[in-house]
A and B are shown apart, each in its own frame.
Chain A
Amino acid sequence: MGNSFSRREFIKISGLSLGGLSLGAGFYNKSSVPQIKEIAKGAGASISGAVKTPTVCEICFWQCAGWVHAKNGEPWKITGNDADPNSNGRLCPRGTGGIGAYLDEDRLRTPLIRKVVDGKQTFVEASWDEAFTVIADKLKKIAEEHGPECVALFTHGSGGSYFKHLLRAYGSNNITAPSYAQCRGPREEAYLLTFGEGVGSPERTDIRDAKCIVLIGSHLGENMHNTQVQEFADAVGQGATVICVDPRFSTAASKAKHWLPIRPGTDLALLLSWIHVIIKEKLYDEEYVAKYTAGFEELKREVAKYTPEWAYPITTIKPHVIVETAREMARHRPSTIVHPGRHVTWYGDDTQRVRAGAIINALLGSWGRRGGFYYPNKASVPKYKYPKYPTPTKSWRDAFPDLYPLANLALANGICDATIPKADKSCAFKGWLVYGTNLLHTLPEPKKTVEAIQNLDLLVAIDLMPAEITGYADVVLPECSYLERYDDLRALPGRVPTIALRAPAFEPKYNSKPGWWIARELGIKMGLEKYFPWKNFEEYLETRLSKVGLTLEEMRKKGVHEFEDRYPLYFEEGMQPEFDTPSGKIELASSLLASYGFDAVPRYTHHEQPPEGYYRLLYGRAPTHTFARTTNNPLLTDLMAENEVWVNKTVARLHGLKNNQSVVLVNQDGERSTKIKVKVTERIRHDSVYMVHGFGHTDKRLKRAYMRGADDTKLISRVKVDPIMGGTGMRVNFVTFESAGVS
């Protein structure tokens, strides 16, 4: 690319077309939406004759297996695969609405290259070959001048595996996903430290057989992680006790026997106080603790001060409620789960908070026990054999000597920080490949993300939709939707080992291509053809399937295959209790944390509370949307087109806010949101407001989502970083209201 940009402008409207094809408005052609004939009335309307193709859902990370149904060659619907233990034949609303991802007329249609035309930066439509040439040339230059390690990959979703492979073949191992340091990283580290194993995804929580489920801010049912919610509903239906700790009366709270509307930022005080009560009243599983755990005496000593009376003024949860709920948890042990949560990057001491919950699970003996945490099985399918990758000599870690010692995965925010040149940081990144993750809505402190982007020589975005990140890219590569492509076999942990196949149900629309094709063609252009020995993905899949005695044809017929060989799920069924910790035991006091100078037993730390007139910004999920990536899906937008800010009734009165009126939220740093409607409700505390994440898109190319609702990420202009593993605590921002008329 001959152009060099002193400042990368966000290209809002992709426009300039040298080929005469406009990507602007006017593309929505109603007749392109398949019209299914009215079949509701009249006898004999047959639903047979439809064809179905196996798929694995890509609308979220749960990866449910299902069937894509087409009728008369047109897309019809997606249903779950009955043979899949990860969906039990039932998808969630997003998976059911997955057809919308295929139909969305705002999809990226063809490769785009940033160029300066008439003094203005714009996207010019390009052929795949042109786009690959630009990228390959630039990557070659970066490798020569700075080393291949100065290129990073940000990834989310199944297609990311091809780009990981490509980047490793190129010579960099700087591969990151915001799902670690902006989501479940602290949880994985906390469980590793305690039990020597992470929780994983799907979570190994045995909710199906749980008698008591304790949720710390986990809003199951609103976060629609399919089989987890299925099991939660089953457990509730069977009379399981739910203890729900949440400043908001969530869906899960409405199912709870005990709703504890805790003051945000004080969950650790409650957890420590529960540990205090469990030890003081000898409610724990003495045999289990003696046999499997280490550090009990240290734990006992450390929590002696955390009485319910101490916790009351901090948490606002009354002492008798703390005692009563602790007893309730113990009554049902070992079938009690203190849920480890999933998005847990809240306050910067998140590893320790999650560890406190893990300690309760250990005290109640629920790890490795029915109704607690099971030992997952995972299908073992040999990997495709590739030549050895070059060995990188630099890593993102070089930019953070002595920091975040227990980070087991690369930090997305860390790579972002290390892209901004500073005297004390080495390996300043020069190139980003961004696959399937809209970093402007994913990483906190979006201004910093934009600043980092200005320092890049190359930014490539590979995506389905023209989200904000693509507006900053130098080259945009349109991937086709999951309904139009093969992907690698799904092999997830679960009670039974299975694999599932995603096969294309439709031809790729427009000039979009599958991720595997994009990575392979780009690899060949970069001279890395020896890393792509397979010609197409059928060949790749046949090779892998043949190693376990299966064929692609068979998998196309059934979608899911279950393997016979499996380990027992629980200690009581013969699973060997082995813990991969320094002591070989469940560590109630962590020797590893102590060796790095951190607290071996979690200690309560005070977090700043909002100043007068300001409210803590809480955010969460809606069952109908995934992050910021589905808010333009025509089917799902029809159900929820924008988010609302939940405001306590008394607070609303104080600020003169009416239900449904539009406001602008302004945070402690003066960051302003787009307009958002107020939901006046009794369902939230007076010191917090809440919104669903993923709205407030500012990219005009997303016609349905543009400026609908507000983006919480924009208001997350500060974070508290977890010193243990580098996670970014994001619930540390405070907002107030401004009448929307002003903006």
Chain B
Amino acid sequence: MARYGMVIDTKKCVGCADCVVACKTENNVPDGYCRDWIVEDVRGAFPDLHMEIRSERCNHCENAPCVRCCPTGASYTDEDYGVVLVDKDLCTGCKACIASCPYDARYVHPEGYVDKCTFCMHRVREGLDPACVAVCPTKCMYFGDLDDANSEVSKLIRSRPNHALIPEAGTKPKIFYLL
């Protein structure tokens, strides 16, 4: 099994939300919902300020609480790519996964099932990057196999300081933010 993940360079990201729009059109995300979003993390006081801009989404955790707590098996980890997905036919919309997710990455689709980022598996299977990665005007996002030492994501994680979100939750998130 590959272990697909994402690296996002916060130095380059301008928070334009193109990733959000591209995801919405690519995946027909209904009005009022999104699978990815922008966070402007501001620290300090005027005029000594620091801001980290992040494009956030499901972290496709290795130790995914949403998969463990799902009573129907609708939430599962894809065997080929290590990506966390939802089988909407099995989903009853009980929201246990939403409660368990430390990243607030899931929502109930108006049609009743739980929806979230899929890393655009329909594109990845055809050899394409996820829509958000492909569209990003600043090219600040990278997608690849974290188990492949030669992949760009692995190299970036090795060569640049980075952090994942809420590592203390112990879910082993697979999105890394370069500082």
Contact = CB atoms under 8 A, between A and B. Distances in A.
A77 B135 CA distance: 11
Contacts of B88: 38, 41
A93 B86 contact: no
Contact of B15 (A226, A261, A623): A623
Interface residues of B, number: 48
B25 A96 contact: yes
A90 B18 CA distance: 10
Interface string B50-65: 1101000000000000
Given A41-B87, A682-B49, A96 B22 contact: yes
A682 B16 contact: no
B21 A97 contact: yes
Nearest to B136: A90
Interface string A622-652: 0110000000001110110000000011000
A119 interface: no
Interface in A72-126: 76-80, 90-93, 96-97, 99
Given A97-B21, A249-B49, A77 B16 contact: no
A46 B42 CA distance: 41
Contact of B137 (A40, A46, A91, A648): A91
A215 to B, nearest CB: 13
Interface stretch (B6-14, B99-107, B145-153, B168-176): B6-14
A352 B72 CA distance: 69
Interface in A634-693: 634-636, 638-639, 648-649, 681-686
B121 interface: yes
Contacts of A624: 16-17, 21
A71 to B, nearest CB: 10
A110 B66 CA distance: 51
A683 B85 contact: no
Contacts of B31: 634, 638
B118 A237 contact: no
B17 A93 contact: yes
Nearest to A704: B31
Interface string A496-509: 00000000000000
Contacts of B11: 236-237, 255
Nearest to A78: B25
Contact of A77 (B25, B126, B128, B138): B25
Contacts of B85: 40-41
Given A236-B12, A237-B12, A251-B53, A40 B27 contact: yes
A229 B14 contact: yes
A339 B102 CA distance: 42
A254 B140 contact: no
A36 interface: yes
B138 A233 contact: yes
In this complex, which of B24, B42, B88 has the most chain A Cβ atoms within 10 angstroms of its Cβ?
A: B24
A45 interface: yes
B14 A623 contact: yes
Contacts, number: 152
A229 B28 contact: no
Contacts of A36: 27-28
A514 B21 CA distance: 27
A221 interface: yes
A423 interface: no
B135 A96 contact: yes
Interface in B13-50: 13-18, 20-22, 24-28, 31-32, 34, 42, 44-47, 49-50
B24 A635 contact: yes
Contacts of B25: 76-78, 96-97, 99, 635
A276 to B, nearest CB: 24
A43 B24 contact: no
A32 interface: no
Nearest to A249: B49
Contacts of A261: 46-47
A224 B17 CA distance: 11
A41 B121 contact: yes
A224 B42 contact: no
Given A41-B118, A251-B53, A682-B46, A635 B21 contact: yes
B12 A229 contact: no
B68 interface: no
A683 B51 CA distance: 10
A224 B12 contact: no
Contacts of B24: 97, 635, 638
A686 B138 CA distance: 32
B46 A648 contact: yes
Contact of A92 (B16, B28, B86): B16
Contacts of B139: 90, 230, 233-234
A396 B51 CA distance: 48
B158 interface: no
A249 B48 CA distance: 10
Contact of B32 (A255, A638, A684): A638
Given A40-B118, A97-B25, A254 B86 contact: no
27 contacts: A40-B118, A41-B88, A77-B26, A80-B135, A90-B18, A90-B139, A91-B18, A96-B22, A221-B16, A233-B140, A234-B139, A236-B12, A249-B47, A251-B14, A251-B51, A252-B14, A261-B46, A635-B24, A638-B31, A638-B32, A638-B34, A639-B17, A682-B44, A683-B46, A684-B46, A685-B46, A686-B46
The 4 nearest A-B residue pairs measured at CB: A221-B14, A233-B138, A623-B16, A36-B28
